Structure 1
Amino acid sequence: MTTVNTPLIALRGIRKSYGGGGHGAPATDVLRGVSLEIHAGEFVAIVGASGSGKSTLMNILGCLDRPSSGQYLFDGRDVSAFDADALAWLRREAFGFVFQGYHLVSSETARENVEIPALYAGTPEAERRARATSLLERLGMGARLDHKPSQLSGGQQQRVAIARALMNGGRIVLADEPTGALDSASGAEVMALLRELASQGHTVILITHDREIAVQAPRVIEVKDGMVTSDGGPAERVGSAPFVRTHGAHGQASAIADLREAMRAAWRVMWGNRFRTSLTLLGIVIGVASVIVMLAVGNGSQQKVMEDMETFGSRTMFVAANPVSSRERGAPLTLDDVRVIADTPNVEAVAPYIEDRVVVQRGSVDHNTEGGGTTLEFSKTLRWPVIEGAMFDEVDERQVAKVAVIGQTVRKRLFADGSNPVGQDILVDKVPFQVIGVLAAKGSSGGEDQDDRVVVPLSSAISRLYGHPNPTWIAVQIQDTDRASQTAGQIEARLAVQRRSRDVRIWNQAEAIRVQMATAQTMTVMLGLIAAVSLVVGGIGVMNVMLMTVRERTREIGIRMATGARQRDILRQFMAEAMLVTSVGGGIGLLLGLVTVLGLKLFGVPVLFSTAACALAFSFSVLTGLIFGFMPARNAARLDPVVALTGE
């Protein structure tokens, strides 16, 4: 357990070397066995010429760098046992840095720069804002709270840096050439502030090459060629207690607060680089919009194809007689064949159909059309409803009733006067029939007008029109389309036994539709994948920009690390920026895609809007930011603090 006599900082034989390590170049010793002790409350100046090793010593003292050998004890604890997060905590809770180059984050205001250490300490927003304001006002910066570094003079920026050093208590203020970039008046003000802090009990360690500055400290340590050549000895301390560990005083910031702050900083960086951000967004916008539009067009085309193919039912197949050879006529289909088909597994309904050309007449108008005789299962099997009147029923079939249902084309020809055809009589091949219903429009299929027909009960067609009971073809509705090919094979086998010959052909429309649907789905997926490629390209663009951003903001990363940011804080910051870019791009792309789909719909292009496709495209854009932003963010988080601080 430490006591008041335990040095706050104790260095034992600290050495620091650069180079060597098998690269061919000899190692350079910057520090060569430095040993010293600094107690809480001291005001110490470390002086030395350029290249003497004093800045390297400051980096080690402030836990920005690690020694090559030797022992560093902080408040009695060996710092070499600290991991990266523990070192970040120590920098955050114990040290406050004042640099010659100020090292303020250019995108943040004076107050926001001062708040950074408290942000990483998890201090509530209201509390850290109040403390930052109080510190700046105390240092005469109350009128400059919302000014950015570029709007401040050198002396004002250094005051902001001092306020930042005191934000978390500033128990140890490490000042590296704090007056080097200032005029004499501003330099005198900064030194007066440091003396005031020392008088209030802060431990102040001043690094300088100027002996006139150094002698203002009660204790002066001179460094030359990486060694301590003189030390004024422990100075009188102003009633300061040993360092008290405050780790966890505020706890870590909540995940929501962390994310909100990361997003705020990310938005500010994006807005500060609007042109580059816009170019980065473009790839994501195009990618998301392409996915939405491509899938909408693909799904719309697929739906249109399916609607066209389902004219006679998606679960329907047709059986017709097929001559054995060109010299043999072949036996016609029979009603016994219909019964055999109806007894086949997976068959739900069967509708035999006798057709031939007939002439229909009404008054002085006659029309050559397709005549058909069928059963009650016609509408169900072919999915062809009656939209006016009714379909004939079992009674009509039994009584060989002279009733008919007409198609839309026949209605237009015979009832051009606009009268209601239901209940009126027409002649079919000079046989009078009463119109009891009008079929729904089907349109054309295979170049043939499906609506140009008149349909009568099968018994009536046999007895009154054609004089034979042989169906021209038989419509078959199945239950399970996945078994369509199997069912067709069973029908063919059963009819071969029934007819003693394999002389029928089966048009398996259900299987054709299934294959067509699978093909259309494959095409839709392919379109989606093609569009997704643009998202991947956009993601690569995000990664390139983020790598460039990390390189440009290396010093900012170092500043954040020096003020207590952990690796995960830096990782979160840059991941937030990448995901914000892709989220904004995804949102704009989503809107653009929707507008494009609506425009295509207005021009008659078959499109099918999909909420799932929109969600997928947007989610994929965010995922793109997560994936392609990770490597740059990880690179930023792994930067060495001292290397980052000296970066350009």
Structure 2
Amino acid sequence: MTAPNAPLIELEDIRKSYGGGDSPSVEVLHGLTLTIRAGEFVAIMGTSGSGKSTLMHILGCLDRPTSGTYRFAGRDIGAFDADELAWLRREAFGFVFQGYHLIRTLDALRNVEMPAVYAGTPAPQRDARARRLLERLGLGDRLEHRPNQLSGGQQQRVSIARALMNGGRIILADEPTGALDSKSGAEVMALLTELADAGHAVILITHDRDVASRARRIVEIHDGAIVADSASSAASATASTASASASAASTADDRARVREIAQTGSTHIDAEPPTPGPAALFGDTRDFMAAMAAGVARNATPWADAREAMRTAWHVMWTNRFRTLLTLLGIVIGVSSVIVMLAIGLGTQEQVIAKMATFGTNRIYVVPGSSSPREPGGTLTVADVAIIRDVPHVKLAMPFAAGDVTVRAGNVDVRTHIWSVTTDAEEILHWKPSRGLFFTDEDERELAPVMLLGKKAREKLFGEANPVGRYVLVNNVPFQVIGELEEKGAVSGDKDDDDVVLTPFSTGSRRVIGDTNLSWISVLIDDLDNAPQVTQHIKEALTKAHHIEDFGVYDQAAAVRAQQQTQRTLTLLLGLIAAVSLVVGGIGVMNIMLMTVKERTREIGIRMATGARQRDILRQFLTEAMLVSLVGGVTGTVLGLAIGSVLILFDAPVIFSVRGIVAAFACALATGLVFGFAPARQAARLDPVVALASE
């Protein structure tokens, strides 16, 4: 336990130097020793440049001495890290600055709430306490006014309310009346005196002797050294009494004492649980260290932290909405470009694959004859079709007999190709009638003399007339035209797939071609990826049946896979080109965030002075960067979908990919995280004193 009369603050041989390295070192404080007890009202007085502000920064844990010892409630805080010092500022100190140091984009209520935000106080509680503090200080009708809408005296009262938000056990006031007129200055001094009377330790930094005379103890500093201290035996007795009273607050009478202070006109809020005095909080070393560890590690619920960070980030974005809009453009253009480019790439890929499907995608061809000139030529029969149908992953197998024939319609003779196929041709060849019907299994069984004409064969025979129901002669055998095939537009060598007639296999092979041996066998497989193993199994099955490999197997699917891979590569290339704009947008976010950190350096210092840890600053600026990316990602997604929809209306090949949309959106968020981290980290590592001194 700390002794009852033990000092709250002890400075021993404190020295502070600036410069060094390439610039000469300048010592501002020269071996300064100072003791301040709980409950004292001390004025530190000196002329400009005497070192009093530097001393205040060290006292308030905003800066560290170059050498010497700083003990707070008996604990050497020299080894405290940045977050531990932030906790101490939040729990023990309340700052009242000459320049007020209010955040210009926040109203009075939100400025006062700030220390409680970093203390993890629930929103309803801190809102109620901030309102009551401002009302007690005569600003109940100015809650939603921003600093530029308040007078100097009103701004200073807001800063006092902020200093008291977390209890304000020690009030550090740096020239609190320096920027005020005499009336406002008198009001502020009356408030500080009232706080001192209520048991707060008040440390007043001033160059004005009249202001300093309001304090109970005056410490004069000149050229970085204490030259006078008015502490007398009477003052010491007063300080001892105040210290003893503060220490007594750690007993069971603590609550009663603070409640009594509140009722006598103190600015403490009597409707809330009383806040223990310094001795109560910092009296026992174990309690002190445990409280500090808990405070440094403090995290509100993830939702509460995220909500607070999002609210602040949105407020900043809205306040600077024009600049935010310019920053958003990079993300919006990047996301929409990725979505549209991928959609066009996928649409084109699908269009190409659909076109290739008319020529056969999942198709394999088995042809008679060996690939080696030394091997005897072979034949394929209908029995081989049955063997192939039993191969795993074969969906359909169809005999194919082809030849050249003369077709006559009236007095028009046309030399064309005949394909004799089964009813499976519709699915295997992916070829359907544009008008009329395909032949049936019954036509196949009965050797029906029916046929379908390709588009060019129809044009040669009938011009633009409808051929369905008409009769033609095929090598002098009469056939009825029952349908016309869709246009394929495929040319293989000197053969045009649209210049052809289709007949049932039994009819064409026996009544026209006159040979039941097959020209080839068309095989449809269930999956394109199974083509290599199906090819191998067909070879094995037919070789076993023929006892020789007198045939060839050609994998049409391989060409399709190559084409698909090419299309995928092109689609990926389009996506990567579009993604460059996302990177450019991310660089824009980083640039804007770096400018924001520079512009808001003083705000960062204010937040640190009110207890923000490095992680709080880091989270805040990361949230702002990610919120920009989030809004840009949503807007870009909507814009990309809108552009794609318009392209669809103009018959452009567009297929939206859910995966692509999600990836583009995720990349936008990642862009905010990656490019926002460096500025956020820079903001979190700022020195509080340097940040507060920035313009």
Name the TM-score, length of structure 1 as normaliser: 0.89
1:395-423 Cα deviation digits (max 9, x unpaired):
654553434455677789779887975xx
Deviation at 1:477, TM superposition (A): 2.8
Quote the offset at 1:451 in angstroms.
5.5
Deviates more, 1:139-148 or 1:375-384: 375-384
- Superimposed CA distance per residue, residues 432-473 of structure 1 (whole angstroms, 9 cap, x where no aligned partner): 4456x6476353223876455442232321321122334444
Picking from 49, 55, 58, the partner of 2:56 is 58
Q: Flag the 1:438–1:333 CA change in 2: closer, same or farther, 3 A.
A: farther
In the alignment, is the contact (CA less than 8 A) between 1:158 and 1:190 conserved in 2? yes
2:219 and 2:212 map into 1 onto residues whose CA distance is: 9
Note the C-alpha offset of 1:542.
Answer: 0.8
How far apart, in 1, do the equivalents of 2:224 and 2:444 lie? 114
SS at match of 2:694: coil
Give 1:340 shift: 9.9
Partner residue, 1:191 = 189
* Cα deviation, residue 98, structure 1: 0.5
Query: For residue 26 of structure 2, what is the aligned residue in structure 1?
Result: 28
Q: Distance in 2 between matches of 1:225 and 1:631?
A: 40
Q: Structure 2 CA distance, aligned partners of 1:401 and 1:389? A: 14
Count residues in correspondence. 640
Q: 1:252 to 1:133 in 2, by over 3 A?
A: same
Q: Quick one: structure 1 residues 542 and 483, their matched pair in 2 at CA, closer, same or farther if it must change by over 3 Å?
A: same
Counterpart pick for 1:261 among 301, 308, 320? 308
Larger mean CA deviation between 180-189 and 170-179 belongs to 180-189
Q: Is this contact kept in 2: 1:223–1:230, CA < 8 A?
A: yes
Write the distance in 2 (CA, Å) between the matches of 1:347 and 1:203: 87
Distance 1:440 1:563, change over 3 A: farther
Structure 2 counterpart of 1:522: 569
Partners in 1 of 2:99 and 2:496 — Cα distance? 86
Distance 1:416 1:635 in 2: 77
CA distance in 2, matches of 1:494, 1:637: 72
Matches within 5 A, 1:78-227: 78-227=76-225
Using the alignment, how far apart are the partners of 1:360 and 1:199 within structure 2? 119
Taking the aligned partners of 2:190 and 2:354, their CA distance within structure 1 comes to: 86
Letter in 2 for 1:179: T
Aligned to 2:510: 463
Secondary structure of the equivalent of 2:281? coil
Number of the residue aligned with 2:488: 443
Structure 1 residue 313: Cα displacement:
2.9
1:642 corresponds in structure 2 to: 689
**Could you tell me which amino acid in structure 2 is paired with residue 342 of structure 1?**
I
Report deviation, 1:204: 0.7
**2:19 partner letter:** G
Q: Deviations over 1:339-376 (max 9, x none)?
A: 59838966724323223454667789987754321245
Partner of 1:392: 440
Distance 2:36 2:368 in 1: 108
1:27 Cα deviation from its structure 2 partner:
2.8
Q: Residues 482, 610 of structure 1: CA spacing in aligned structure 2 closer, same or farther, 3 A cutoff?
A: closer
Q: Is the 8 A contact 2:299 2:305 kept in 1?
A: no
Alignment of 1:474 onto 2:521? yes
What is the match of residue 624 of structure 1? 671
Per the TM alignment, residue 112 of structure 1 is displaced from its structure 2 partner at its CA by: 0.6
Could you say if the C-alpha distance between residues 323 and 127 of structure 1 is closer, same or farther in structure 2, counting changes exceeding 3 Å? closer
C-alpha deviations, 1:238-284, integer Å up to 9, x for none?
Answer: 55445132956996422211211111111121122222212211111
What residue in structure 1 maps to residue 388 of structure 2?
Answer: 342
Distance 1:378 1:97 in 2: 88
- Name the structure 2 match of 1:245: 281
Other-structure match for 1:604: 651
Counterpart in 2 of 1:15?
15
Aligned with 1:15: secondary structure? strand
Change (3 A) 1:134 1:578: same
What is the match of residue 477 of structure 2? 431
Contact 2:393 2:530 in 1 (8 A): no
1:603–1:398 Cα change, 3 Å: closer
Q: Partners of 1:257 and 1:634 in 2: how far apart?
A: 22
The CA RMSD measured in Å over matched residues stands at 3.4
Tell which deviates more after alignment, 275-284 or 548-557: 275-284
SS, match of residue 654 in structure 2 = coil
Once residues 637 and 490 of structure 2 are traced to their aligned partners in structure 1, the CA distance between those partners, rounded to angstroms, is 38
1:551 positional shift: 1.0
Cα distance in structure 2, aligned partners of 1:183 and 1:356: 110
CA contact (8 A) 2:367 2:380 kept: no
- Displacement of 1:192 in angstroms is 1.5
Which residue identity lines up with residue 445 of structure 1 in the other structure?
A
Unpaired runs of 5+ in structure 1?
none
State the distance in 1 between where 2:145 and 2:195 align: 25
Amino acid at match of 2:627: L
Q: Where does residue 42 of structure 1 map in the other structure?
A: 40
Q: For 2:512, what is the secondary structure of its paired residue?
A: helix
User: Percent identical across equivalent pairs?
Assistant: 55
- Indicate if the aligned counterparts of 1:550 and 1:632 stay in contact, CA closer than 8 A: yes
Given that residues 50 and 223 in structure 2 are in contact (C-alpha distance below 8 angstroms), is that contact kept between their aligned partners in structure 1? yes
Q: Distance in 2 between matches of 1:400 and 1:332?
A: 27
Which amino acid counterpart does residue 625 of structure 2 have in structure 1? A
The Cα offsets for residues 552-590 of structure 1, whole Å up to 9 and x where unpaired, read as 111100000000001111001100100011111111111
Write the letter of the residue equivalent to 2:209: R
- Choose from 294, 300, 312 the match for 2:347: 300
Q: Distance in 1 between matches of 2:528 and 2:415?
A: 37
2:326 maps to which of 276, 279, 291: 279
2:331–2:633 contact (8 Å) kept in structure 1: yes
**Larger deviation, residues 130-139 vs 621-630:** 130-139
- The answer to which of 355-364 and 536-545 deviates more is 355-364
Q: For residue 245 of structure 1, what is the amino acid of its counterpart?
A: L
